[in-house]
Copies of this chain bind each other. A is one copy, B any other.
């Protein structure tokens, strides 16, 4: 499945890496694309949307409700 998340609080490249790693900890095969300026995180993953959103939120970023 492909998901699009609106994620705020990513301020730098380290944050992008933290979000990517959080998703890939849940699903190592996940593809993650981040447009930080747009607060946009696109994920292709077999995991459910809620689990992915929770993993990103646990890193300390705000994920907008779907």
Interface residues of A (CB under 8 A from B): 11-15, 17-18, 60
Contacts and interface: CB of A to CB of B under 8 A. Distances in A.
Interface hub of A11, A17, A18 (most chain B Cβ within 10 A) = A11
A12 B9 CA distance: 9
Nearest to A12: B11
A15 B12 CA distance: 8
Interface hub of A11, A14, A18 (most chain B Cβ within 10 A) = A14
Nearest to A60: B13
A56 to B, nearest CB: 14
Nearest to A17: B14
Contacts of A18: 14
